Amino acid sequence: MNLQTRLGILGGGQLGKMLALSAGNWHLPVWILDEAGDFPAAPYATTFVKGDFRNYDDVYRFGQMVDVITVEIEHVNTAALAQLEKEGKIVHPSPAQLDMIKDKGLQKQFYAEKGLPSAPFKLYSDEKSVQEALANDAISFPFVQKSRTAGYDGRGVAVIQSAADLPKLLPGACVVEPLVDIAKELSVIVARNENGEIQAFPVVEMDFNPNANLVEWLLCPAQTAPAIEKQAEQLARQTIESFGLCGLLAVELFLTKSGELLINEVAPRPHNSGHHTIESCYTSQFEQHIRAVLNLPLGSTKMKTASVMLNLLGEPGYAGPAYYDGLEACLAMEGVNIHIYGKAQTKPYRKMGHVTVLGATLADAREKAHRVKERLRVLAVGG
């Protein structure tokens, strides 16, 4: 095994940081491209390169410095990646896969073409054409409108229950889906390497904070019937195979009240719903991504202990230099693993870190996670 392979990561946020920390176990040289040296990943990169991952020249120049290129975010300059790929660089996920995944319209068309289950949908060029479709009865309330390209962490999603919600319609090209009757939101992170080997992590269950539309709790294992678990894992495998993608693919699923599994969306990179794997599985999602993009044997995804992951979000009402209130009390609790991303400034609902709470049982982990949630808060110094 060549431990000199230079791994390049576009993006220096918390996912880049955790990838770099994982690569450190094998002492792999890691190069990271992002705009500022005080971003979370910068201190953990062997070489931090300052630049914009949306800019062609910055990405192209960066790509020439490394052997294998991957991403921690989809919204990168794929034209530069395509050129690098043409010149023989290994790029996982591929620029074509990134282009498809970062456009929710193309993603939905892909599922339809491949026969992968997902909610029915229609595409519109702007909010005016959505209004016209309503007037023509082509769509009806309640529905969900999603920006094709601008979305992130629920910001590009509008739930339209009735005419009263129409002012919430988002501008620009969009996908419209019926409002799904969701029983649970599940996620399966799956990995594939160039050899075609595939491994899926145990199914997790996501609970959302209704105010921020961000995952608040993540339960592993998911509280679902074994048959659903098996079906979810199978669907994730089928999805990554259909994409022919190398690296990680986080497959977000809806379990409907009638027991159907639908793909909501995918992310071709480490994902918030896999952070618990660092402590609760044999292999972390970050190491698995590195194994997959370097075409190494994939690691075991077996669960060691039940866990509950909670995102540490900036407390509403506080903005400024971050202060972690209750950190020491939580560090003293058994099985509580605290990850601080190192973002200097907090603001309401900003992802500042996460905590993975391990337990002998899920109930045990849950009870402790509630205590952590009550005790640990991200405030602002002097604010």
What is the contact surface with ligand ADP in residues (CB under 6 A)? 119, 144, 146, 151-157, 177, 179-180, 182, 185, 208, 213, 252, 264-265
Cβ–Cβ < 8 Å for 249, 240: yes
Sheet strand arrangement including 345-346: 345-346, 320-325, 377-380
Looking at the Cβ atoms of 20 and 236, the one nearer to ligand ADP is 236
- Cβ-closest residue to ligand ADP? 180
Is residue 203 within 8 Å of 171, Cβ to Cβ? no
Cα–Cα dist 21/27, whole Å: 9
User: How far apart are CB 378 and ligand ADP at their closest, in Å?
Assistant: 21
CB 253, min distance to ligand ADP, A = 10
Closest CA to 291 of 177, 195, 226: 195
Q: What is the closest distance, in whole angstroms, from the C-beta atom of residue 163 to ligand ADP in the complex?
A: 18
Of 253 and 294, nearer to ligand ADP (C-beta) is 253
- State the nearest-atom distance from the C-beta of 142 to ligand ADP, in Å: 9
Cβ atoms 380, 346 nearer than 8 A: yes
Helices and strands (H, E) in the chain, number of each type: 11, 21
Compute CA distances 370 → 48, 309, 324, whole Å: 37, 11, 17
Question: Nearest distance from residue 149's CB to ligand ADP, in Å?
Answer: 11
Shortest distance (Å) from residue 152 CB to ligand ADP: 5
State the SS3 of 152-194.
CCCCCEEEECCHHHHHHCCCCCEEEEECCCEEEEEEEEEEECC
Structure tokens at 216: 């608040």
Nearer Cβ to ligand ADP (151/348): 151
Q: Which residue, among 73, 60, 128, has the nearest Cα to 267 in the 3D structure?
A: 73
Nearer to ligand ADP, 59 or 157 (CB): 157
CA dist 101 and 269 (Å) reads 11
**Least distance in Å: CB of 283 to ligand ADP?**
25
How many C-beta neighbours within 10 Å does residue 288 have? 29
CB of 178 to ligand ADP, least distance (A): 6
Residue position matching structure tokens 């009806």: 140
Q: Are 66 and 6 in contact (CB under 8 A)?
A: yes
- The H or E element containing residue 20 is helix 14-23
Which residue, 158 or 200, has its beta carbon nearer to ligand ADP? 158
Nearer to ligand ADP, 111 or 318 (CB): 111
The residue (of 122 and 375) whose beta carbon lies closer to ligand ADP is 122
Shortest Å, Cβ 177 to ligand ADP: 4
Q: Given the complex with ligand ADP, which of 43 and 172 has the nearer CB atom? A: 172
3-class DSSP assignment, residue 368: helix
3-state secondary structure of 326: coil
Tokens of 261: 């599994």
What letter represents residue 380's amino acid?
A
Contact 254, 206 (CB under 8 A): no
Cβ nearer to ligand ADP, comparing 152 with 282: 152
User: In angstroms, what is the minimal distance from the CB of 115 to ligand ADP?
Assistant: 19
Query: What is the three-class DSSP state of 96?
Result: helix
Nearer residue to ligand ADP within complex by CB, 45 or 245: 245
